[in-house]
Structure 1
Amino acid sequence: MKWRFIDLDKTDGFKSAALFESIAKYVGGNVSPETILFWRVMSPVVYLGYHQCVEDEINVDHCRNHNIGIVRRILGGGCGFCDENQILFSCIGKDSGIIPPDIQAAYTKVLGAVVNALYTLGTEGEIEPARNAVYSKGRKISGNAQGRLDGAVLINGSLLMDFDFELMDRVLKNPTKNLYPVAKAREGMITLKDIGVTDIDFAKKALLDGFEKALGITTYEGMLAQNEINTANQLMEKYRSHDWIYRMDIKRAHRKRFSVLPPQ
């Protein structure tokens, strides 16, 4: 079975979210081939889970003052701080295809790619089902999220090459939230640089090979189709809009405003 592989390299955080939603629509509609997408962000961003409130998770003033984008994705899960030192990926398949319908089984299958890559890169990897993450040497090296949309299933994730822990501590209100109990995020996370891997092309190849082995597929280098690009450009307006970024904060404020007070 052949899947398309696209490496966007560095791209805008908002554009990445628009692209993986666009690709998913066409994969689910049997127009585009199932796809493994790699990218890195051009500048730091926070990817926010679909159901999360900005107010609960992010120090907005710091983001605004330092030009750090807030990108609400269509996938669930927790928020994650991302910079150019991470390989980000999206595994986009048909929901009737080789990715299991069960959520945890889907994570296990797809995240096997990260475990395979870590083995190739000379270290161990273990899937942590409770956190939808991959750990190496007891510390988190890959965070992940999942969603199903219009006949497609998406599992997105990261592989840390290096990391600006100090900046993450300033951007996120609770940077240790999705880790094993630790005082600081640095204590609960590990990067490929920590284990001696600094060649990003080597790491990308290991990850792509890991996907082929985990999914039982072969890949070919492909390009974005024009319809995928056009739809992504249309979606950009949504992803950059205040109403989308703060949609859950707005909903919560609306519920509070119109909640019925108990009788006095």
Structure 2
Amino acid sequence: MHGEFKVPGGKLVVVDLAVADGRLADVRVSGDFFLEPDDALPAIDAALTGLPVTSGATDIAAAVTAALPEGASLLGFSADSVATAVRRALKRATQWSDYAWELVHPGPLDPLMHLALDQVLAEEVGDGRRNPTLRIWEWDQPAVVIGSFQSVKNEVDPENAAKYGFRVVRRISGGGAMFMDAGAIITYSIYAPIDLVQGMSFADSYAFFDEWAVLALRSLGIDASYVPLNDIASPSGKIGGAAQKRLGNGGVLHHVTMAYDMDGNRMSEVLRIGREKLSDKGTKSANKRVDPLRSQTGMSREQIIERMIETFRDLHGLTEGSLTDAELASAAELVETKFGTDAWLYRVP
């Protein structure tokens, strides 16, 4: 059996193995990574040989780590990436090309519908009723989207939010507040089965899901890179941030918001971004953290989105799709029963 995993921003890890009596046999790890000392590689092979085929990614990675000699150095890969390659060899993890990806890009929707659709579409993919999907968001009204675990009063200045017409809503994923001004941001969601990131750490899966977007930005002349845990940035500053939610039915939601032409001064009035939040960003004001795509490309928002769609299609395949009546109805119901309620918005006051 043969499995491969290209570490986002790193090297290729390859695992060849056999299975005997329900356990891994004749395991051989290879790739274009760097590893010191040399005898660490056969130690990894030996540690993997004999593991039950039912071993989870955490157990596989732990076996690799335990086998490493003191002072070993892994460059371009990790124990988690070896685990992913092993599980792919066992057909317990998948690749982008294993799926028929669909594009959903409807017109502007109410902010609450956007959030409800994230839950609905992730559930649909997890249950196998929808193909894995890339959705591009459109906005015609401003909103502040706070993370699942953020405090409303700590994150938003209510008077300034009302002054500028920003509605405050809460999403199901963690992470920080998203300042969503109409026509000023680019947001996309990916709905995928958990098998696509099987064996990856959360940190690795963030970079994995957004590697195509970084490549799209680079094709536009932006020196973009992924900054752990969840930022896309350039030498000029932060471009965007990602958030992720894994559902119990096997669906994964991963979404990203990037600044196109954001008013940083207004953002700093609406959001309560304190000194502690900025302490590791190397700046004293919120607006200097914003790095609009417009200033770096000179292109319209629509042109940038089109390049991103083209890049995804070239890399992973993509066909035109649409939202079904049932999905829209389910989302509308969630707006009424969950996302539009004070109980949800103020679950963390």
**Does TM-score exceed 0.5, indicating one fold?**
yes
In the superposition, the TM-score normalised over structure 1's length comes to 0.87
What per-residue deviation string (whole Å, max 9, x for no partner) do you get for residues 23-47 of structure 1? 1111110011111000122211111
Residues 1:58 and 2:156 are matched in the alignment: yes
2:254 aligns with 155
Aligned residue type for 2:256 = G
Query: Structure 1 residue aligned with 2:306, among 205, 214, 232?
Result: 205
Structure 1 CA distance for aligned equivalents of residues 302 and 136 of structure 2: 12
Query: Structure 1 residue aligned with 2:290, among 143, 164, 189?
Result: 189
Change in CA separation of 1:13 and 1:100 when aligned onto 2, cut-off 3 Å = farther
Structure 1 CA distance for aligned equivalents of residues 254 and 271 of structure 2: 23
Structure 2 CA distance for aligned equivalents of residues 199 and 152 of structure 1: 33
Residues 1:13 and 2:111 are matched in the alignment: yes
Query: Structure 2 residue aligned with 1:39, among 137, 144, 164?
Result: 137
Residues 1:232 and 2:331 are matched in the alignment: yes
In the superposition, the TM-score normalised over structure 2's length comes to 0.67
1:256 aligns with none
1:105 aligns with 204
Tell me, what secondary structure is at the counterpart of 2:233?
A: strand
Aligned residue type for 2:172 = I
Aligned residue type for 1:111 = D
The share of aligned pairs that are identical, in percent, is 26
CA deviation after TM superposition for structure 1 residue 156, in Å: 0.6
Alignment of 1:121-140 (within 5 A): 121-130=220-229, 132-140=230-238
Matched residues, number = 246
Structure 2 CA distance for aligned equivalents of residues 110 and 209 of structure 1: 16
Structure 2 CA distance for aligned equivalents of residues 99 and 37 of structure 1: 22
Based on CA coordinates, which of the two structures has the bigger radius of gyration?
A: 2
What per-residue deviation string (whole Å, max 9, x for no partner) do you get for residues 212-257 of structure 1? 46xx5201110001221111010111111111100012xxxxxxxx
Change in CA separation of 1:125 and 1:48 when aligned onto 2, cut-off 3 Å = same
1:262 aligns with none
The 8 Å contact of residues 132 and 193 in structure 2, kept in 1 or not, is answered as: yes
Structure 2 CA distance for aligned equivalents of residues 113 and 9 of structure 1: 23
Structure 1 CA distance for aligned equivalents of residues 295 and 126 of structure 2: 39
Residues 1:79 and 2:177 are matched in the alignment: yes
The 8 Å contact of residues 24 and 92 in structure 1, kept in 2 or not, is answered as: yes
Gaps of 5+ in 2: 1-98
Structure 2 CA distance for aligned equivalents of residues 9 and 128 of structure 1: 31
Q: Which has the higher contact order (CA 8 A, sep 6+)?
A: 1
Structure 2 CA distance for aligned equivalents of residues 225 and 110 of structure 1: 25
The 8 Å contact of residues 104 and 129 in structure 1, kept in 2 or not, is answered as: yes
Gaps of 5+ in 1: 250-264
The 8 Å contact of residues 143 and 158 in structure 1, kept in 2 or not, is answered as: yes
Structure 1 CA distance for aligned equivalents of residues 293 and 199 of structure 2: 29
